[in-house]
């Protein structure tokens, strides 16, 4: 059996190694148009920022090492330019010599990845404008920085690559501005959770120009002007486009393979394409979202590795299936960590799901053990069924641990109420006896049992106009005077039982505290005394962070620059 693989890195290289482990006699040839067959894509921004200092560390495998261990022919600087399913051959171009030849296959694996999305805008050919996808792109950016010592950069795009680049370039001492059309960074997060990310970026001196549409680029004054719609241009010494990726599937379409979203290759759960004996994996394929079952594009290294393994199993006589992508991800933002899994509340509602969420601010470990820091968690579930849909966490220590627990719970099909039952490791330096994941489960279980009724930030405007309710802040007098929402009376929770006569029993009571705990206790006191009461999801800390961010984004949009 002869297997030809188009593209190395996560999907292709994984498939090649797995096939060899399953079949010692298969002939395996990998064609990779770059000079690197297996490299750490996710480490590229950190090489630019000198966190990774040795370029050789980016290469996880070399063609020589791969052949020595697996007897796989790794042909770098070779580009497959056409697929001929009828003759089961591919046309290959040697990018060093320019020569072309035909290569026969019994099984063909496509792992071409994705290419940076290139907007059709004037000025994208300016030599001070870069994209980042490959090791070669990384070297070009690094060489330009070393030779020209740019003092400022505009990053177009606020996703994973954009934020990682922003951090690393800022650590090099550059003035960094991120510009993008949506009014938030990091689309896997809801806008309220993204507010904490925005605060962190601003705290480290990164300017945010959110809600701006880029209309082109001009080379001026030794740098680049980024032209914005209805706003003055942003000037910088260099520009990096990080506005997303597009599946690199032109040859697949020309060969008659079925294509889907943004030209991605359509595959079944066995990673088989619409053409017999041709498989596909990685950023080039359309997958099913594990939570919604909808078609999706999810460009992450973990899914690509799994898909390559599944293809290898099936080529070698197995019956492996890809169950879908959940979108679990984590990112370092200076000393902060942000992580997400499943779908956020915004996308859940767009998908037609009746979504609800709980928001909590637990400590990373036991409060009495030194060094604990607050994290903000948002867990999304479906009303009625309590199906767990997704989660987002922003914080410091312990964020990755909790998101992995929640990702596992979603994959296992646990209901959100069952989070309370998980038996999680505890010691004071690492967690609390009631882990934050358990706490989210307790809250959702209280909702399911009718012990907790919530109100949300989007309800506030209507509540402030409603004269037939009571708005109550249960924090201490000192906390209240340091900042509160106008219209809320202050009755500290520990004084509430003695001051119930100050509250109209005929009116529903909407309660807030700093994090949501004291207000929940207040709700239970109120309901135990015959009141109808609702607890604010998130607490004043959450409210303050989100509202301050919204104000800054709107001021920046009105003025043309983030303050």
Question: For 394-406, what is each residue's pLDDT tens digit?
Answer: 999 999 999 999 9
Determine which of 211-215, 340-344, 443-447 has the lowest per-residue pLDDT on average. 211-215
Question: For 478-496, what is each residue's pLDDT tens digit?
Answer: 999 999 999 999 999 999 9
Dihedral, CA of residue 386, residue 399, residue 40 and residue 128, to nearest 10: 100
- Whether residue 405 contacts residue 471, with contact meaning beta carbons closer than 8 Å, is answered with no
- Whether residue 520 contacts residue 481, with contact meaning beta carbons closer than 8 Å, is answered with no
Q: Tell me how far apart the alpha carbons of residues 294 and 350 are, in angstroms, rounded to a whole number.
A: 12
- State the pLDDT at residue 63: 81
Confidence of residue 10 (pLDDT cuts 50, 70, 90): confident
Q: From residue 135, how far is each of 41, 241, 377 by CA, in Å?
A: 8, 16, 35
pTM of the complete model:
0.94
Q: Tell me how far apart the alpha carbons of residues 145 and 42 are, in angstroms, rounded to a whole number.
A: 20
| Statement: residue 561 has pLDDT above 80 | no
Q: Tell me how far apart the alpha carbons of residues 207 and 227 are, in angstroms, rounded to a whole number.
A: 16
What letter does residue 465 receive in the DSSP assignment?
H
> Residue range 165-180: average pLDDT?
96
Q: Which of 201, 237, 205 shows the shortest CA–CA distance to 219?
A: 237
What is the helix (H) or strand (E) element at residue 516, kind and residue range?
none
| CA pseudo-torsion sign 135, 133, 238, 332 | negative
- State the pLDDT at residue 91: 98
Q: Tell me how far apart the alpha carbons of residues 236 and 219 are, in angstroms, rounded to a whole number.
A: 10
- Who's near 44: CB < 8 A, 6+ residues apart? 58, 132, 135, 137, 138
Confidence of residue 562 (pLDDT cuts 50, 70, 90): very low
- State the pLDDT at residue 60: 65
Beta bridge partners of 331: 338
Work out the angle between the directed axes of helices 191-203 and 539-559 (0-180°, nearest 10): 70
HEC readout, 329-370: EEEEECCEEEEEEECCHHHHHHCCCCEEEEEECCECCCCCCC
What letter does residue 387 receive in the DSSP assignment?
B
- Give the active site residues: 42
Greater pLDDT, 145 or 34? 145
Q: Tell me how far apart the alpha carbons of residues 277 and 221 are, in angstroms, rounded to a whole number.
A: 55
Q: Tell me how far apart the alpha carbons of residues 226 and 237 are, in angstroms, rounded to a whole number.
A: 11
- State the pLDDT at residue 555: 82
Confidence of residue 42 (pLDDT cuts 50, 70, 90): confident
Q: Which of 54, 3, 71, 5 shows the shortest CA–CA distance to 32?
A: 5
Q: What is the CA radius of gyration of the chain?
A: 27
When the pLDDT of each residue in the chain is averaged and rounded to a whole number, the result is: 94
Question: For 115-172, what is each residue's pLDDT tens digit?
Answer: 888 888 899 889 999 998 888 889 999 999 999 999 999 999 999 999 999 999 999 9
Determine which of 27-31, 133-137, 472-476, 485-489 has the lowest per-residue pLDDT on average. 133-137
- State the pLDDT at residue 563: 40
What is the helix (H) or strand (E) element at residue 324, kind and residue range?
none
C-alpha atoms less than 13 angstroms from C-alpha of 466 in its C-beta half-sphere: 14
Strands of 175-180's sheet in order across: 129-131, 238-241, 152-156, 175-180, 207-210
> Residue range 213-226: average pLDDT?
93
């Amino acid at each position: 059996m002869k297997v030809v693989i188009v593209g190395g890195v996560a999907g292709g290289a994984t498939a090649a190694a797995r096939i060899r482990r399953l079949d010692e006699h298969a002939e395996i040839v990998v064609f990779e148009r770059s000079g690197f067959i297996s490299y750490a894509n996710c480490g590229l921004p950190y090489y630019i920022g000198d966190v990774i200092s040795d370029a050789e560390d980016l290469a996880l495998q070399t063609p020589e090492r791969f052949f020595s261990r697996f007897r796989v022919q790794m042909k770098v600087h070779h580009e497959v330019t056409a697929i001929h399913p009828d003759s089961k051959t591919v046309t290959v171009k040697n990018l060093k010599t320019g020569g072309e030849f035909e290569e026969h296959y019994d099984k063909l694996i496509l792992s071409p990845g994705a290419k940076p999305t290139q907007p059709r805008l004037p000025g994208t050919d300016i030599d001070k404008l870069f994209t980042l996808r490959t090791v070669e792109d990384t070297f070009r950016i690094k060489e330009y920085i070393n030779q020209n010592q740019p003092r400022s950069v505009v990053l177009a795009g606020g996703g994973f690559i954009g934020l990682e680049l922003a951090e690393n370039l800022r650590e090099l001492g550059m003035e960094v501005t991120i510009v993008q059309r949506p009014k938030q960074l990091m689309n896997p997060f809801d806008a309220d959770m993204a507010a904490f990310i925005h605060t962190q970026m601003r705290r480290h001196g990164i300017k945010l120009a959110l809600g701006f549409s880029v209309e082109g680029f001009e080379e001026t004054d030794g740098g680049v002007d980024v032209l914005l719609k209805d706003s003055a241009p942003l000037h910088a010494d260099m520009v990096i486009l990080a506005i997303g990726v597009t599946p690199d599937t032109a040859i697949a379409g020309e060969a008659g393979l079925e294509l889907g979203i943004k030209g991605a290759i359509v595959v079944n759960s066995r990673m088989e394409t619409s053409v017999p004996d041709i498989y596909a994996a990685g950023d080039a394929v359309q997958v099913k979202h594990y939570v919604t079952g909808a078609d999706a594009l999810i460009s992450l290294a973990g899914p690509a590795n799994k898909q390559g393994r599944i293809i290898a199993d099936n080529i070698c006589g197995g019956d492996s299936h890809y169950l879908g992508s959940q979108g679990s991800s984590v990112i370092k933002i200076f000393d902060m960590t942000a992580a997400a899994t499943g779908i956020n509340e915004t996308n859940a509602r767009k998908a037609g799901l009746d979504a609800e969420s709980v928001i909590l601010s637990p400590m990373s470990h036991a409060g009495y053990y030194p060094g604990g820091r607050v994290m903000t968690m948002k867990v999304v579930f479906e009303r009625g069924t309590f199906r767990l849909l997704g989660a987002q966490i922003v914080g410091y220590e312990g964020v990755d641990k909790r998101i992995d627990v929640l990702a596992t719970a979603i994959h296992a099909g646990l209901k959100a109420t069952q989070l309370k039952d998980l038996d999680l490791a505890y010691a004071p330096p690492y967690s609390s006896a009631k882990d934050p994941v358990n706490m989210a489960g307790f809250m959702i279980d209280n909702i399911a049992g009718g012990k907790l009724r919530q109100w949300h930030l989007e309800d506030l405007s209507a509540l402030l106009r409603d004269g037939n309710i009571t708005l109550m802040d249960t924090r201490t007098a000192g906390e209240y005077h340091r900042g509160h929402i106008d219209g809320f009376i202050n009755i500290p929770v520990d004084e509430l039982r003695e001051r119930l006569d100050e509250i109209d029993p005929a009116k529903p009571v909407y309660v807030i505290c700093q994090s949501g705990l004291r207000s929940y206790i207040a709700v239970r006191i109120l309901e135990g005394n015959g009141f109808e009461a609702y607890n604010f999801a998130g607490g004043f800390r959450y409210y303050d962070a989100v509202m301050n961010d919204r104000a800054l984004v709107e001021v920046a949009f009105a003025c043309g620059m983030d303050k």
